């Protein structure tokens, strides 16, 4: 889903030959923006997170011999990150996001570097890992979504769908690689995953520092709404617009506690007050929560037989493969197929894939259905995220992303907990089919919205917003 002051003109200009000024999307995405630098920085962060998500619990269990203490670290990080998500949204909207990305990387470099040194010296004890978990939770809550909120200020709005689909494929590939890479690193020593993560965070910092063309308060854009580097803005001042919003002064941080609380919850309130956003975010949050719970109980069910533990691990692999394959065709789909068809197909395939996997008697059949279920995820995310981003002012992206994260954080653990109870009492078959039907039910509010079903291709989104009477934030 999308997270998003100066207002930038998001409509593409039309050239005398009748073609859109962004007809060559591949060239303009990589050569006309700093997306490549952002992509490197974000990829380093994603790989580091994937490695640590796999390695940290295993390292904690090795140090303590207690699975409970190992899982406690993840719980602490999740709780702290969730609590700080809303204030983090305000931080990301108030301060220069490039500087926040740099701070994110430097903090990670310091934390992982210290743990690597302690591990090398044989001083890596559980209290150290607990402090690390707390610090990572704080970092994630306040700064974790900065990279996502910054993306719309780096690429033009009409290229967001393409960037989103590329990011989905990249994330799936890195998630697929994280576990084996983390396992190999742990084999070389408990300190090694921390050392590699420290290096990745340092690389993220270096890449972020090279970003110059991005939206920020008082920044400039050219006539197509593309962010300019500061030196470019100085050289092309006549053709540039200062993108400060007229109401910037009204949104300046005040000393009033009540004003701060209003700002912190403003994105959350907007998501729930607007009919289109409310139905879309609740539908997506519930559908994904049900799907992830379905995947979890499928892994647990297959893995309950010691001879099928390896087969259970391939359930997650099949999902990642589906996303990777989908990302290869998503750009073509987004550019040549109406957005409404792509979005509806995303929900339909997820529903069919989950129900098929729930009813399939063979493990290979389940893997095939799981791969199919998320085949349209990259294209669907590209359409939904890209369109939603046009409804959000750049200076409010952090708060809206934080609100989305809060809704997803509330839904996921509740459904996962209830799924575990249901599986314990009624077994896998009943619970998995029930979750599949819940995915279908969760998709209904989204696929029955006229504004989403009739969504055109990206070049018609702004006109669609006006005709549908959708409210921007």
In this structure, of 313-317, 332-336, 438-442, the range with the lowest mean pLDDT score is: 313-317
Instruction: Say how far apart CA 422 and CA 413 lie, in whole Å.
Output: 14
Average per-residue pLDDT in the chain? 79
Question: pLDDT at position 19, please?
Answer: 36
Say yes or no to pLDDT of 319 above 80: yes
Question: pLDDT at position 287, please?
Answer: 92
Say yes or no to pLDDT of 55 above 60: yes
Higher-confidence residue of 459 and 338: namely: 338
**Is the Cβ–Cβ distance between 380 and 280 less than 8 Å?**
no
Question: pLDDT at position 311, please?
Answer: 66
Task: Decide if 1-6+24-211 and 266-473 have a common fold.
Answer: yes
- The average pLDDT across 398-411 equals 79
pLDDT band for position 76 (cuts 50, 70, 90): confident
For the segment 267-290, what is each residue's pLDDT rounded down to a tens digit?
778 888 888 888 998 999 899 989
- The average pLDDT across 424-434 equals 87
**What distance lies between CA 215 and its chain's CA centroid?**
20
pLDDT band for position 429 (cuts 50, 70, 90): confident
Question: pLDDT at position 310, please?
Answer: 61
For the segment 235-274, what is each residue's pLDDT rounded down to a tens digit?
444 444 444 443 444 444 444 666 767 777 777 788 888 8
Q: Sort strands 220-221 and 241-242 into parallel, antiparallel or unpaired.
A: antiparallel
Question: pLDDT at position 306, please?
Answer: 62
For the segment 106-136, what is each residue's pLDDT rounded down to a tens digit?
999 999 999 999 999 989 899 999 999 999 9
**446 CB contacts (<8 Å, ≥6 apart)?**
279, 280, 283, 284, 287, 343, 347, 452
Half-sphere exposure for 419 (CA within 13 Å, toward CB): 27
User: Cα dist. 134→192, 290, 409 in Å?
Assistant: 21, 28, 18
Question: pLDDT at position 65, please?
Answer: 81
Say yes or no to pLDDT of 390 above 50: yes
Q: Give the number of other Cβ atoms within 10 Å of residue 240's Cβ.
A: 18
Higher-confidence residue of 9 and 360: namely: 360
Question: pLDDT at position 303, please?
Answer: 65
Question: pLDDT at position 445, please?
Answer: 92
Instruction: Say how far apart CA 243 and CA 88 lie, in whole Å.
Output: 23
Q: What's the CATH architecture for 266-473?
A: Up-down Bundle (1.20)
Instruction: Say how far apart CA 449 and CA 281 lie, in whole Å.
Output: 13
Strand (E) positions, 198-254? 220-221, 241-242
- Name the token pair of 355: 């129900």
Instruction: Say how far apart CA 158 and CA 12 lie, in whole Å.
Output: 7
Residue 121 burial (CB < 10 Å; 0-12/13-18/19+)? Answer: exposed
In this structure, of 16-30, 252-266, 293-307, the range with the lowest mean pLDDT score is: 16-30
Q: 30-34: which pairs have CB atoms within 8 A and are 24 or more residues apart?
A: 32/226, 33/154, 33/155, 33/156, 33/159, 33/213, 33/226, 33/227, 34/154, 34/210, 34/211, 34/212, 34/213, 34/214, 34/227
Residue extents of the structural domains in the chain: 1-6+24-211, 266-473
- Residues of the chain with pLDDT > 70, as a percent, come to 82
Say yes or no to pLDDT of 179 above 80: no
Say yes or no to pLDDT of 143 above 50: yes
Q: Supply the DSSP symbol for 77.
A: H
Say yes or no to pLDDT of 471 above 60: yes
pLDDT band for position 227 (cuts 50, 70, 90): low
Identify the H or E element spanning 274: none
Question: pLDDT at position 203, please?
Answer: 96
- The average pLDDT across 362-385 equals 88
Residue 98 burial (CB < 10 Å; 0-12/13-18/19+)? Answer: buried
1-6+24-211 classified as CATH 1.20.900.10: no
Question: pLDDT at position 387, please?
Answer: 87
Q: Give the number of other Cβ atoms within 10 Å of residue 230's Cβ.
A: 13
- The average pLDDT across 332-345 equals 89
Question: pLDDT at position 235, please?
Answer: 46
């Amino acid at each position: 889903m999308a997270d998003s002051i100066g207002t930038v003109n998001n409509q593409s200009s039309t050239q005398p030959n009748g073609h859109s000024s962004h007809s060559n999307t591949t060239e303009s995405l990589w050569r006309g923006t700093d997306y490549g630098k952002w992509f490197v920085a974000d990829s380093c962060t994603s790989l580091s997170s994937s490695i640590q998500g796999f390695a940290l619990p295993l390292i904690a269990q090795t140090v303590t011999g207690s699975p409970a203490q190992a899982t406690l670290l993840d719980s602490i990080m999740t709780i702290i990150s969730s609590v700080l998500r809303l204030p983090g949204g305000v931080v990301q909207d108030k301060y220069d996001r490039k500087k926040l990305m740099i701070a994110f990387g430097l903090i990670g470099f310091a934390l992982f570097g210290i743990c690597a040194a302690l591990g090398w010296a044989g001083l890596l004890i559980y209290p150290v890992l607990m402090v690390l978990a707390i610090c990572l939770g704080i970092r994630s809550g306040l700064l974790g979504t900065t990279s996502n909120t910054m993306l719309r200020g780096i690429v033009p709005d009409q290229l967001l769908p393409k960037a989103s689909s590329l990011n989905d494929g990249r994330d799936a590939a890195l998630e697929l690689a994280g576990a084996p890479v983390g396992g190999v690193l742990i084999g070389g020593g408990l300190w090694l995953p921390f050392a590699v993560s420290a290096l990745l965070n340092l690389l993220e910092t270096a890449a972020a520092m090279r970003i110059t063309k991005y939206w920020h308060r008082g920044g400039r854009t050219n006539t197509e709404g593309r962010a300019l580097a500061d030196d470019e803005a100085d050289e092309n001042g006549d053709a540039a617009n200062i993108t400060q919003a007229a109401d910037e002064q009204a949104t300046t941080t005040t000393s009033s506690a009540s004003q701060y609380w209003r700002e912190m919850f403003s994105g959350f309130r907007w998501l729930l007050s607007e009919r289109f956003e409310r139905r879309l975010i609740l539908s997506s949050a519930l559908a994904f929560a049900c799907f992830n719970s379905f995947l979890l109980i499928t892994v647990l069910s297959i893995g309950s037989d010691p001879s099928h533990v390896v087969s259970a691990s391939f359930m997650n692999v099949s999902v990642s493969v589906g996303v990777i394959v989908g990302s290869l065709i998503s750009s073509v789909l987004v550019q040549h197929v109406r957005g409404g068809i792509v979005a509806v197909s995303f929900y339909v395939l997820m529903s069919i894939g989950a129900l098929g996997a729930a009813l399939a008697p063979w493990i290979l059949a389940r893997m095939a259905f799981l791969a199919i279920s998320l085949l349209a995820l990259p294209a669907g995310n590209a359409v939904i995220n890209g369109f939603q981003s046009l409804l959000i002012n750049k200076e409010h992206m952090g708060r809206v992303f934080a609100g989305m994260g809060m809704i997803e954080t509330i839904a996921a653990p509740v459904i996962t907990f209830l799924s575990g109870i249901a599986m314990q009492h009624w077994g896998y078959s009943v619970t998995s089919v029930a979750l599949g039907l819940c995915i279908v039910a969760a998709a209904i509010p989204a696929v029955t919205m006229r504004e989403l079903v009739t969504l055109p291709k990206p070049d018609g989104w702004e006109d669609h917003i006006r005709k549908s009477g959708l409210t921007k934030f």
